Amino acid sequence: MSAHLPWRQGRGGSAGSLPDPRVPEAWESPTGETAPWDTWRTHRALQQPTYPDPHALSEVTADLRRRPPLVFAGEVDDLRADLGAAGRGEAFVLMGGDCAETFAESTADHLRLKIQTLLQMAVVLTYGASLPVVKIGRIAGQYAKPRSADVETRDGVTLPVYRGDAVNSFAFTKESRIPDPHRLMEMYQHSASSLNLIRAFTKGGYADLRLVHHWNRGFTQNPAYSRYESLAEEIHRAVKFMEAAGADFDSLREVDLYSAHEALLLEYESAMTRIDSRTGRPYDTSGHLLWIGERTRQLDGAHVELLSRVLNPIGVKLGPTTTPEDVIALIDRLNPEGEPGRLTFITRMGASRIRQALPRLLEAAKADGRPVTWTTDPMHGNTITSSTGYKTRDFATIMDEVSGFFEAHAEVGTIPGGIHIELTGDDVTEVMGGSEQIDEAGLERRYETLVDPRLNHQQSLEMAFQVAGLLR
Ligand code: TRP
Ligand code: MN
């Protein structure tokens, strides 16, 4: 697999012994005490559903604890190494997917289009950056959402708010808004079948660089996107050159696509935490990378506590009010030893604030010296409501935040390590702008998100071409 990645050289199992699959094991305490990572239970946990039947919840989590892990310790370690490389400027991170996945849309078609979009972006970015791209999907686990209010009122009726399919159902009825712990098991099952599909697509020929490049040519041959044609043509010549020279490696046919989600529901995340058979250390096996949201990143909160105990790479969202002291305190809590790739900050400042707000955070981390991988989320600080009442974002504003991110890093002398975006592979109309010029009236054509507006397939590719321009 990715043997071409320079920081991976010399890795692999020791010669002569059978490879250890490193299937993490469930925690079994001989004396019935709690697991070492259960310390979160004595910390304040925000954004948790209140289940009417606690007994049903403990039955589900007991069942989850016996299920096979969804991801493996060795894969998680590989991603940590890749993120460390991105922090040093030796790779670039592309993290993307839905704001919230739904069970109904975890179908083969939707997943295929999303994976296709991520891979198409990755080819363009790999060329633009002349670096390996670390591909991470907000996929196979992104089923829970933090919300700003506990309840929602429509026409005088007040009900509990929708917290994602992992918790309750979107339909505005009393019944469907009751948090149901069995949905945690459904989350596990949808994650498992999605990961199965991802593994098949990424290792089975569908991710072949030449095929993905061929899709990109189709995109740039559309007159609407002709401004990207010259870059696509350069990539085409590079691919042709490789072919002519007879270059044909496994690494052209396969990719590593990692899975990430917001680690919001602590009962689920702690039930999925297992002990690695090789090192004896805990891994949260619900996904490769877990992130902590801006609303739940309190230093003494339960989310930081749980994730401080597992070895996965951790992301933390940072909004415009983050202080340099917060940054250092988060490093102290989540990466005290300064391990490369352990901690990724995902900044979501807003296009109008990033140039003021980000540099001092970069300065603080730079002075501290422990490595951090910096990525930009140009989506969440730029959400507006259209005059027609849709929650939307503007493509040009999103790109402005990305530019601000690169400028801030250039100013401080730190590394812009990657981007984190909300996208779908479908032809939705949720974000305004782009070459197809979706305007306020156009939003209603195909507005499908239950939560935040996503870049559609074309807008995602445009973003990749524009970011590739910034990376060159
Ligand atoms: N394996 C390499 C990588 O992941 C090259 C590659 C193969 C690739 N298929 C791809 C890159 C699809 C991007 C998209 O980088
Ligand atoms: Mn979102």
Q: What is the CATH number of the domain that holds 304?
A: 3.20.20.70
To test the pocket of ligand 1, the residue of 7, 121, 123 to mutate (highest count of ligand atoms within 8 Å of its CB) is 123
Q: What is the pLDDT of residues 297-319, one digit of tens each?
A: 999 999 999 999 999 999 999 99
Domain presence at residue 317: yes
- pLDDT of 266 strictly over 50: yes
* Enclosing domain of residue 166: 36-192+259-471
Residue 142: nearest ligand to its CA? 2
Domain presence at residue 98: yes
- pLDDT of 7 strictly over 90: no
- pLDDT of 32 strictly over 70: no
Distance 264 CA to ligand 2 centre (A): 13
Domain presence at residue 356: yes
Instruction: Provide the 10 A C-beta neighbour count for residue 104.
Output: 10
Distance 294 CA to ligand 1 centre (A): 32
Whether residue 252 has its Cβ less than 6 Å from ligand 1: yes
Domain presence at residue 431: yes
Average of per-residue pLDDT values in the chain: 94
Which protein residues have their CB within 5 A of the ion that is ligand 2? Answer: 99, 452
Reported confidence tier of residue 28, pLDDT bands at 50, 70, 90:
confident
Q: What percent of the chain has pLDDT over 70?
A: 96
Domain presence at residue 234: no
Burial of 9 (0-12, 13-18, 19+ CB in 10 A): exposed
Look at residues 104, 95, 96 and name the one whose alpha carbon lies nearest to residue 164: 104
SS3 361: helix
- pLDDT of 33 strictly over 90: no
Q: What is the pLDDT of residues 200-209, one digit of tens each?
A: 999 998 999 9
Whether residue 251 has its Cβ less than 6 Å from ligand 1: yes
Domain presence at residue 11: no
Domain presence at residue 171: yes
Distance 357 CA to ligand 1 centre (A): 34
Distance 452 CA to ligand 2 centre (A): 5
pTM above 0.75, yes or no: yes
Q: What pLDDT is attached to residue 5?
A: 74
Distance 92 CA to ligand 1 centre (A): 13
Give me the mean pLDDT over the 103-119 stretch.
97
- Domains in the chain: how many in total? 1
Q: What is the pLDDT of residues 243-255, one digit of tens each?
A: 999 998 889 999 9
Q: What is the pLDDT of residues 72-101, one digit of tens each?
A: 999 999 999 999 999 999 999 999 999 999
Domain presence at residue 451: yes
Instruction: Provide the 10 A C-beta neighbour count for residue 341.
Output: 26
Reported confidence tier of residue 3, pLDDT bands at 50, 70, 90:
very low
Block residue for tokens 């460390």: 84
Whether residue 129 has its Cβ less than 6 Å from ligand 1: no
Q: What pLDDT is attached to residue 9?
A: 58
